[in-house]
Amino acid sequence: MAKKKTERELLAPTTTGIIEGAGEIVEQKIVYTLESNYMPYAMSVILSRAIPEIDGFKPSHRKLLYTMYKKGLLTGNLTKSANIVGDTMKLNPHGDAAIYDTMVRLSRGYEALLHPFVLSKGNFGKFYSRDMAWAAPRYTEAKLEPLCNELFRDIDKDTVDFVDNYDNTMKEPTLLPVTFPSVLVNANTGIAVGMASSVCSFNLREICETTAALIRDNDHDIFSTLPAPDFSGGGQIVYNEQALKDIYETGRGSIKVRSEYTYDKANNCIDITSIAPSTTIEAIIEKVIDLVKAGKIKEIADIRDETGLNGLRITIDLKRGTDPDVLMKKLYRLTPLEDSFSCNFNILVGGTPMVLGVKDLLDEWIAFRIECVRRRTHHDLRKKQEKLHLLYGLKEILLDIDKAVKIVRETEQEKEVVPNLMIGFGIDEIQAEYVAEIKLRHLNREYILKRTADIDELEADIKALEAILASKARIKTIIVKELKEVGEKYGQDRKSQILYVEDEAFEDVVEEIPDYPVNLFFTRDGYFKKITPQSLRMSSEQKLKEGDEIITAIESNNNIDLLFFTDKAQVYKAKASDFADTKASVLGDYIPAKLSMDEGEQAVAMIVTKSYEGMLLFAFENGKVAKVPLDSYATKTNRKRLTGAYSDKSPLVGVEYTPDDKEYLLRSSAGRMLLLHTGAINLKTSRTTQGVAVMKLKKGQRLMSIAPYAEGTFSKPSRYRTRSLPALGALPAAEDTAEQLTII
């Protein structure tokens, strides 16, 4: 076996052209591997790919927009997207597909941004559709939106730093000198290594007003000018003051956004016209279909996507008699028609990821913008000072133009012209070089007077620029003025309406269940049927599993509760409306499967109730009977299962419901019968009570059944009654034939 070598040995220089140790295993500490291999990758993703910076852009956004700016697409005509993608690869080497995807998401056609940066022509897809693909770049055209003037204003005046691109062939800006807080105007999300960023969008006009107010007064109440986010797709923002306060202060939290809808009474349908930014049309439709199939929503006849040139629209056809507002409340609760947008304002500030609240983020942007304006002012000052310096030299020439011409004419060597002018007029080399480069046609008094007339204006401008640099307040005033101009020129009304609701909006919607007569059937093997009287009249022959029989048949209505007691001392609660209307010719719903009972658990009895009034009788094999009020099984919450439904000390024989005390017939395995009046048994509030001993049983005997007693069953019913409990009961008399006992 080849000896393992350390990394130091493998990386040692060799004298041959062959790489020594190629293919061999390298022993390396895991900590070193993480530090040398994984950490640089993680930092690259965080700093150069996934997290936006204080100007509001990721590197991919910035490279694309700067390329379009350099191509003259800010004022020029539309050009093929493929041309833009190709030129952007000079700055972004990640491939044409990734670049085009970036451009699509910045475009007006995609509709993902509140204020798009790319004016698009052609099919750019839609952010609210998962399946609507955009066309290839050879088919679409694009240019920059007018708003991009505010991204590149004064970029050539040293407002931001420039760095070499990946192959050192051209320069690109590290940031864009945006004149408004674009970091909060357009939504931005990204997933890095170990951290993520999710910034919601705010209204441009409101952001500009808020930022200007913060510059004037750092204690400004943000809520007064920035009430809530604003999303490109519209929707209704469910106002939650505490949630918004958390986002504004910490940069983290979530916002509930509801879809907007209108009701078309003529066609009895609901039109969804806007959805939350975190979901898609397809996700909503699929969820609604699943709910309809599961029987949780019965009011919808059809749902379809009718999105077209007029914008987003999901149409929901309603069944007759459906209240659209009640249905929408239910859909808000059960589907992505109301969804949450999670905020995590993780922004790169000076190369460091920071999670900042709205105020802190605006403060950082203000500091960034102050530096941009300061650098721009310094650049303008330097240029004007340089020009003024040249004009001072030109002014000296005005004193004696003939002397200047004579010096140039009499100088034998060209290289001596500038030094001779310096000596002759007392000017420096830069001024002399400028004078020497003046064309012969300009060596006249008129030209020189026109040029030197700018001296007074330049001196005034320089004085004003120096005053700006000396006063931070003046720089802030300039920023406020620019913010006001941007807000007035590009601002638009809110797209997302703020919905102020009380607690009612967050409560579960009480479903209105359609009520109509039904016949309920429950079999010994656990099958259940709900049949309308009309259907039962048409065909009353019941289809049952071989050996099965109906043990409960009740005439009731659809708006009623069903309690299914099982052999595991549990009760499962359901509503008759949870089951579909069926026919007598089918087996029906198998209750253990329908209600997701435990493995091996069987339903043994069904109780029907609406008001939970009356009592339940539980008969056990040991001869005991328990009487429990039915309201012990009523719950304030919609619990589907209750454990400890009855005592499990002895096997259950039967469960009977009675509104009032009356007589029941009990029969033992020994053939004895006992008439029991339930008034002789005390009512117990505990569901798990073991009951009262009613029937005496000898060893090996057990209670077999319990059933309501029907008058006329026995010729002498007193034979089976007793004055005290427990009692043995009596054997049937000869006149009480078997035919009379079939009701048991």
Active site residues: 139
What single letter denotes the amino acid at residue 685? Answer: T
Q: Token digits for 49? A: 């790919």
DSSP 473: H
628: which residues sit within 8 A by CB, 6+ positions away?
Answer: 615, 616, 618, 646, 683, 684, 685, 686, 687, 689
221: which residues sit within 8 A by CB, 6+ positions away?
Answer: none
Omega before residue 726 within 30° of 0, cis = yes
Pairing of strands 5-6, 26-27: parallel
Query: Is-contact 508 236, C-beta < 8 A?
Result: no
Q: Token digits for 212? A: 């200007």
Give the separation between CA 623 and CA 703, rounded to whole angstroms. 5
Query: Is-contact 226 202, C-beta < 8 A?
Result: yes
The distance from CA 574 to its chain's CA centroid, rounded to whole angstroms, is 33
Q: Which residues of 158-171 are buried (b: 16+ CB within 10 A; e: fewer)?
A: bbbeeeeeeeeeee
**Beta bridge partner(s), residue 620:** 652
Give the separation between CA 678 and CA 253, rounded to whole angstroms. 60
Query: Is-contact 92 64, C-beta < 8 A?
Result: yes
Residue 185's nearest CA partner among 483, 622, 524 is 483
Give the separation between CA 254 and CA 259, rounded to whole angstroms. 16
- Degrees (nearest 5) of the Cα angle 286, 289, 291? 110
DSSP state letters, 414-462: GGGHHHHHHHHHT--HHHHHHHHTS-GGG-SHHHHHHHHTHHHHHHHHH
Q: Token digits for 392? A: 């001072």
DSSP 3-state of 243: helix
DSSP 3-state of 212: helix
Query: Is-contact 413 372, C-beta < 8 A?
Result: no
In three state form, how does the secondary structure of 667-722 look?
A: EECCCCEEEEEHHHCCCCCCCCCCCEECECCCCCCCEEEEEECCCCCCCCHHHHCC
Provide the strand spans (E) within 91-225: 118-121, 141-144, 162-164, 171-173, 188-191, 196-199
In the chain, how long is the greatest CA-to-CA distance? 159
54: which residues sit within 8 A by CB, 6+ positions away?
Answer: 175, 183, 347, 348, 349, 364, 365, 368
Q: Token digits for 243? A: 């949630």
Residue 120's nearest CA partner among 130, 112, 128 is 112
Give the separation between CA 327 and CA 319, rounded to whole angstroms. 11
Q: Token digits for 176? A: 């864009």
Pairing of strands 497-499, 236-238: parallel
Give the separation between CA 48 and CA 34, rounded to whole angstroms. 19
DSSP 3-state of 70: helix
Q: How many residues does the chain have?
A: 744
Helix (H) or strand (E) holding 386: helix 358-398
Residue 150's nearest CA partner among 369, 348, 429 is 369
